[in-house]
Amino acid sequence: MKTEMSSVDIKYIVEELQSLVGARIDKVYHDGNILRVKLHKAGEGRKDLLIQAGKRVHLTTYIKESPSPSSFAMLLRKHLSGRFLDGIEQYDFDRIVKLKVGEYTLIAELFKRGNVVLIDGESKILGALRYEEFKDRAIKPGHEYKLPPARESPVDVEWERFKELLLEEEVEVVRALARKFNMGGLFAEEILLRAGIEKTRTAKELSEEELKLIFEKMKEVFSAPKKAQIVYKDGELFDVLPIELKQYESLEKKYFETFSEALDEYFGKITVDEAKKELTKRLEDKKRSLLHTLKRQEEMMKGFEAQAEKNQALGDLIYANFMLVENLLSEFKKAVEKLGWDEFKRRIEEGKKAGNKVAMMVKGVNPKDKAVTIELNGQKITLYLDRSIGENAELYYEKAKKAKHKLEGAKEAYKKTLKKIQEVEKLIEEELKKEINVKKLERRKKKWFEKFRWFISSEGFLVIGGKDATTNEMVVKKYMSENDWYCHADVYGAPHVVIKEGKKASEKTLFEACQFAVSMSKAWSRGVFSEDAYYADPSQVTKQAPSGEYLGKGAFMVYGKRNWMHGLPLKLAVGIVKYEDEELPMCGPVDAVKAHTNRYIVIRPGRLKKSELVKKLKHILEKWGYKVSEEDLMAILPPGNGDVEEIRE
């Protein structure tokens, strides 16, 4: 079962993670040997990049509750939060990933024990997950960070160099490939399988044509189209790969759109299983101990039951053969009194040799206890010569009684142990039902307009607005058409708002869109309660700046007559609305939300931090039976603090 990513895996994931370039780093979380970098990508929203030292790097939806930030997390937040990811690359086909953030570089070492190191522009170490010192380098603050010696890349190597490197080795060709090109045994075997060459042969015994074929198949493997997958063996997780492998043809597979999704599902499942095991480890240990006790008690009960049955049967046997046993007792007693025990024993032995029936019945003589053991109907019975036949029988009945008493005690103890096991099993079940500290973010596929600020007007028109310079630019240049209306608040930094097919709408939708424009502007964070806005024809909106001026990204000019609306209230509502057969959390003007749902929460600018407001809204919506993530609520709310003014149920 795979436990860490290979250099090949890292090649493919780094290619895929290029989509993160330009994302803003929000926060960095640290727990054990795992870092999670929370990013925001314009137009796409939240992304979580997970780095596990010595193991893996990929986007994740499995979020572990983080403890109080460590000193390393605080160091990373200080230097990286608010900055943008400028680049991500693999170092020389090695298990090293470098993330460029301004003048800083975050280096993820995914080999051996692994590490994560932050360096400045001069390669000086600012901090690390773990400080270490080796023969040839030291991971300590202030020291220069030294990368390991460069490894040959199977992707870039030329034919002559490839041949030269392989022929240097005296080992099997599979080991030579894995060692010289840092690809690992799995991919070395795959290349040789495709080439049809036995992996145990040495490179030097191969012909040039065979070496050439290996070279070609290596290039084929490392240029193969991506087909992210999890491989299962006997129904269990076995491997996770970016491409198809011939050696796995017969195994079950599950395919994914991205390699990150495959890695996340594979390692996330392992993480959750480990967390569950840890959660119940103490209880499982207790259950094992109780099961061991239960087994001992079962054996004891069987023993007591056998003793009771045996002794009861022996007592009954004595009475069933009353006359015979009584005569034997009398004869044995007289013989011992007359001859003594030694002579009695000698006479018994002589009688056995002579075939005497009574002597043949005797199986043992015990002078100390004044007892003779006989065999009767295949059962051995010890008779005490100083006791009557009734007293001898009673001895066995008494033993049976004691065994039965012990059996009852053992049964009670057994029941108690069984009850304890059931209680522990119930506790295990309850623990497993608890929300473990690793949870999967269920990210539904969002509608195209959810990358913007949006709402559905009371008349059913879709209204969209920008969130930042990038999405403001998109709203106007890509999504606004001649059949729409354009709205804007008379506030610096307000979003561009567009009513789709707005020319068909009445003044009610225009009012709602303008109110939305002022509410989603910086006026909300300033805590004001009313502002002005206007609407205009799309033809009036242009990128053409006045002479001598320049319009930056997201900025537009509006020429001609503007239709003003004054004193618009900064007031919105949040509710769950049905749109295109899907329930969506929506934040818009009160009348718009009210038209689509009977339950909604009215909010105003206020003193409650946005994060706290989100928690409050989430709690109310959950009480109504809606499961909404804090991330989704955060995305639809206006910028700045607020308060709940009214709850309508």
Provide DSSP, 61-90.
Answer: -EEEPP-SPPHHHHHHHHHHTT-B--EEEE
Cα separation, 275 vs 436, whole angstroms: 7
- Least Cα distance to 290 among 407, 433, 428 occurs for 428
The last residue of a domain, from among 374, 409, 437: 437
Query: Among 227, 259, 291, where does a domain finish?
Result: 259
Dist CA 493 CA 336 (whole Å): 121
407 and 490 assigned to the same domain: no
What pLDDT does 271 receive?
75
Same domain, 585 and 640: yes
Is 251 part of a structural domain of the chain? yes
Average pLDDT over residues 139-149: 90
E strands in 104-164: 104-109, 115-119, 125-128, 132-133, 138-139
Sheet-wide strand order for 236-241: 236-241, 229-233, 252-255
pLDDT of the residue at 478: 94
Write the CB contacts of 96 (distance below 8 Å, at least 6 apart in sequence). Answer: 90, 107, 108, 109, 110, 111, 147, 148
**Residue-range definition of the domain harbouring residue 533:** 448-648
Is the per-residue pLDDT at 264 higher than 70?
Answer: yes
Q: What span, in angstroms and rounded, lies between the C-alpha atoms of 70 and 380?
A: 77
CA distance 612 to 339: 104
Please check whether residue 363 lies inside any domain of the structure: yes
Read off the pLDDT band of 446 (50, 70, 90).
confident
The whole-number average pLDDT for the span 69-81 is: 94
Whole-number Å distance between alpha carbons of 563 and 572: 22
As a whole number of angstroms, the distance between CA 436 and CA 374 comes to 68
Same domain membership, residue 549 and residue 454: yes
Helix axes 322-339, 389-433, angle to 10 degrees: 110
- C-beta separation of 33 from 57 below 8 A: no
Residue 149 has pLDDT above 90, yes or no: no
* Phi then psi dihedrals of residue 157, to 5 deg: -60, 140
Cβ proximity of 644 and 612 under 8 Å: no
633 occurs within a structural domain: yes
466 neighbors 451 (Cβ within 8 angstroms): no
Specify burial of residue 625 (Cβ count, 10 A radius: 0-12, 13-18, 19+).
Answer: exposed
Measured CA to CA, the distance from residue 417 to residue 414 in angstroms comes to 5
Per-residue pLDDT at 564 exceeds 50: yes
For residue 67, what pLDDT is reported? 67
Calpha distance 109→99 (Å, rounded): 11
Q: By three-state DSSP, how is residue 422 classified?
A: helix
Is 482 in the same domain as 406? no
Taking only the tens place, the pLDDT of each residue in 246-263 is: 999 999 999 999 999 999
Q: At what angle do helices 322-339 and 341-354 cross, to 10 degrees?
A: 120
Tell me the sheet residues that pair with 239: 231
Residues 503-525: tens digit of each pLDDT: 999 999 999 999 999 999 999 99
Q: 447-494 pLDDT, tens per residue?
A: 889 989 999 999 999 999 999 988 999 999 999 999 999 999 999 889
Both 247 and 334 in a single domain?
no
pLDDT at 435: 52
Residues 131 and 205 reside in one and the same domain: no
Residue 74: Cβ-neighbour burial (10 angstroms; 0-12, 13-18, 19+): middle
Say if CB 557 and CB 545 are below 8 A apart: yes
The CA R_g of the chain, rounded to the nearest whole Å, is: 42
| Mean pLDDT confidence for 212-222 | 94
Selection from 116, 89, 86, 113 nearest residue 22 by Cα:
86
What was the pLDDT predicted at 91? Answer: 92
In the chain, the percentage of residues whose pLDDT exceeds 90 is 76
Question: Cα(first)–Cα(last) distance of the chain, in Å?
Answer: 52
Q: Are residues 245 and 365 in the same domain?
A: no
Asked whether residue 402 carries a pLDDT value surpassing 80, the answer given is yes
Please give the structure tokens belonging to residue 351. Answer: 């009688």
Average pLDDT over residues 544-548: 81
**Is residue 607 a part of any domain in this protein?**
yes
**How high is the pLDDT of residue 438?**
45
Structural domain count of the chain: 4
Structure tokens at 566: 């004054």
Q: What whole-number distance in Å separates Cα of residue 154 and Cα of residue 620?
A: 56
Is 50 exceeded by the pLDDT of residue 500? yes
pTM of the predicted structure, to 2 decimals: 0.59
Q: Are residues 517 and 546 in the same domain?
A: yes
Tell me, yes or no, whether 265 lies in a domain. no
Report, as an integer, the average pLDDT of 184-188: 92
Q: Is the pLDDT of residue 442 over 80?
A: no
Tokens 């949006």 belong to 454
Contacts of 240-249 with CB under 8 Å at 24 or more apart are 240/2, 240/9, 240/265, 240/266, 240/267, 241/9, 242/8, 242/9, 242/12, 242/13, 243/12, 245/186, 245/190, 246/190, 246/193, 246/194, 247/189, 247/190, 247/193
Q: Are 645 and 608 in contact (CB under 8 A)?
A: no
DSSP three-state, residue 181: coil
C-alpha–C-alpha distance, residues 324 and 332, integer Å: 12
Contact 116, 131 (CB under 8 A): no
What confidence score (pLDDT) does residue 444 get? 65
Least confident of 9-13, 265-269, 531-535, 605-609: 265-269
156: exposed, middle or buried (Cβ count in 10 Å: 0-12, 13-18, 19+): exposed
Q: Is residue 153 part of a domain?
A: no
| In a shared domain, residues 468 and 590 | yes
Does a structural domain hold residue 2?
A: no
State pLDDT tens for residues 330-354.
999 999 999 999 999 999 999 999 9
How does DSSP classify residue 546?
Answer: P
Q: Check: CB of residue 580 under 8 Å from CB of residue 627.
A: no
Would you give the distance in Å from CA 481 to the centre of its chain?
Answer: 45
In sequence order, the 6+-apart residues with CB closer than 8 A to the CB of 23 are: 39, 40, 41, 42, 47, 84, 85
Same domain, 181 and 113: no
pLDDT tens track for 19-70: 999 999 999 999 889 999 999 887 677 899 999 999 999 999 877 766 688 9
Report CA-CA distances (Å) from 355 to 342, 486, 492.
20, 124, 125
Choice among 218-227, 250-259, 287-296, 544-553 with the minimum mean pLDDT: 544-553
**Last residue of one domain, picked from the residues 107, 139, 171:** 139
Q: What are phi and psi of 194, to 5 degrees?
A: -70, -30
Encode pLDDT of 286-339 as tens digits. 889 999 999 999 999 999 999 999 999 999 999 999 999 999 999 999 999 999
Same domain, 616 and 493: yes
Answer yes or no: do 242 and 302 share one domain. no
Q: What is the CATH number of the domain that holds 102?
A: 2.30.310.10
When the pLDDT of each residue in the chain is averaged and rounded to a whole number, the result is 91
Q: Between residues 89 and 41, which one has the greater pLDDT? A: 89
**Residues whose CB falls within 8 Å of the CB of residue 498, separated by 6 or more in sequence, listed in order:** 463, 464, 465, 475, 476, 479, 480, 484, 485, 486, 487, 538
Measuring CA to CA, how many Å separate 284 from each of 276, 423, 436? 11, 12, 17
What's the CATH code of the domain at 206?
Answer: 1.10.8.50
**Residue 595 included in any domain:** yes
Beta-strand pair 572-579/600-608: antiparallel
pLDDT grade, residue 443 (50/70/90)?
low
Q: Are 495 and 474 in contact (CB under 8 A)?
A: no
